[in-house]
Every structure is written in C-alpha cells, then in structure tokens.
Structure 1
Amino acid sequence: MHLKKMTSKEYIKTHLKDIRNIRVTMHEQEWDFEIWPNDKLDEWNEEYNVEENIPGYYAIGSDGGLEMLTVEILTDKVYSIPFIPMDANDRIKVSDNFRDLIKKTNK
C-alpha cells in the first residue's frame, strides 16, 4: 500500500494567512480556536516541541488555553490535542481534512 503526503506545512500556511479564528463543533459544542499568526507558526511549533511530542503533527492554533489545533501532515486530518499532556492518543478529530476545515471557515 502506498501512502502519500496529503498536505504540507507550506500549503497550510498559504491557506491560513487570512484566517484569524475557526469555530468547530466538538462534543456537540462549538469551540473557537485562534489561528496563530502565519509568521509565528514554525517558531511556536518549535517552542512547544510539537514535532518531538507529537511527531507528524503541525500546530496551527489554540483555544486560548487547554487545546491545540493541529493538522496531521500524513493524513491531512485536523485534531484538537491537549497541551498537557501533549499526546496524540488524547486527540479529538475536528475535521476529516484540512481543506474541508478551510472551506467551512471561508463561507
């Protein structure tokens, strides 16, 4: 079986550049996530040790405290992952793919 990379950090940055907030439904509740500034994405991913703690994920924002909004690069799925503990086993799916999340946001 051949798996291909569904998205890239560059693609994500390009499509987030004009988005500041995203509202998603999780656990039958609406949650607001602040999208991190495009020029801070790599820096904040590094500062939070995202690649070390949850390899294969790229953080794009947070709910202002407890949850980090991430994209799983290989699958293109969007998840909320708690900052503490930062563990992919605790993830909650937000969207089946990054592109659908952006389409919903741009409506």
Structure 2
Amino acid sequence: METFERILVKHNCVRRTDKPIAHFEDIENIIGFKLPPDYRLFLETYCGFEEFIGEAYVRLWGMDEIIDQNQGYGVFENLPATLAIGGNGGGEFIAITIIDEGNYRIVISPFIDLNEEYHVEIGSSFTDFLERLNNGHGYFDNIDLKK
C-alpha cells in the first residue's frame, strides 16, 4: 500500500467500486501534462475525500467532477499548467502544477483571484502534501509573514 493510501485509509476514505466516467486522457489533454502517478492512483482507487487530516480540512474532488470544477472556477482559462484538485473549505483551492516533465508541486491558492503569484507550495508531490498534513503541519506553516 502506498504511503498516501495509508493516510487516506486511516481517515476512512471511500474506495471506488465503479469505473469513472471521465478518462485520464480527457484531463491530460486539457491541462497539457501527464498526471503524477500517485495522484492518478488516488483517482483510480478513491471516490474523492472530505475530512480533516491533522488540523487541516481537506476536500479532494473525485475523477468525475474534476473537469467540471476546474471549468466552473475558471482554472483552465486562467492558470495554465495547473489542475485544481480540491479545496480547504476556507476559500482556497488545492492544485497540482507542473514545473517540468515529471516534476510537480502541490499548491494552495485563493479562488477569488486566479493568479499564479498567490500559489503557496504545500507539497512537492501529492503524497508529500498528505504526509505533511498527517504529520500535523498546516497549509501555511512555511509562510514567512514578515515579508
């Protein structure tokens, strides 16, 4: 079992019992990059997620809602190379951005101003993001507020 799966199982994430309607190729054609393997496995295996991990509330969209959510919020038009994957329940979305081929980061950013300058890195991978939360880190623990 993958590290991120242990975290999701610990928090009672519901496993998928049916095949998703959407296809990875549909998402990847829109965003212009391949999904990271750990996140792809999440989409294949789970129905989404809505629960606290540590002190942080996490809502991860399932495979069949991810395209509609990104289109509805205008992510595809305003943030190239970004795929919103959920939110924190506090006005920010969680997203995957690609740095270069095979190198991703997980960010949190406000829904109200879709601008890359507001992205805050919260993980170097989907697994790293979940591990940080599971280890008690909050979304904004690494922010220097003195700037």
TM-score past 0.5 threshold: yes
Residue 67 of structure 1 is aligned with which of 92, 95, 100? 92
Partner of 1:95: 123
Alpha carbons of structure 1 residues 52 and 37: separation in structure 2 relative to 1, 3 Å = same
TM-fit CA distance, 1:96:
1.4
Alignment of 1:1-107 (within 5 A): 7-8=34-35, 12-16=39-43, 17-18=45-46, 19-21=48-50, 23=53, 30-74=55-99, 75-102=103-130, 104=131
What amino acid maps onto 1:85 in structure 2?
D
Unaligned runs of 5+ in 2: 1-32, 136-147
Unaligned runs of 5+ in 1: 25-29
What amino acid maps onto 1:14 in structure 2?
L
TM-fit CA distance, 1:10:
7.8
Contact 1:78 1:95 in 2 (8 A): yes
Contact 1:51 1:58 in 2 (8 A): yes
More strand by share: 1
Percentage identity across paired residues of the two chains: 24
Instruction: Count residues with an aligned counterpart.
Output: 96
Alpha carbons of structure 1 residues 47 and 10: separation in structure 2 relative to 1, 3 Å = farther
What amino acid maps onto 2:92 in structure 1?
E
Q: So what's the TM-score if we normalise by structure 1?
A: 0.70
Contact 2:82 2:95 in 1 (8 A): yes
Largest Rg, 1 or 2: 2
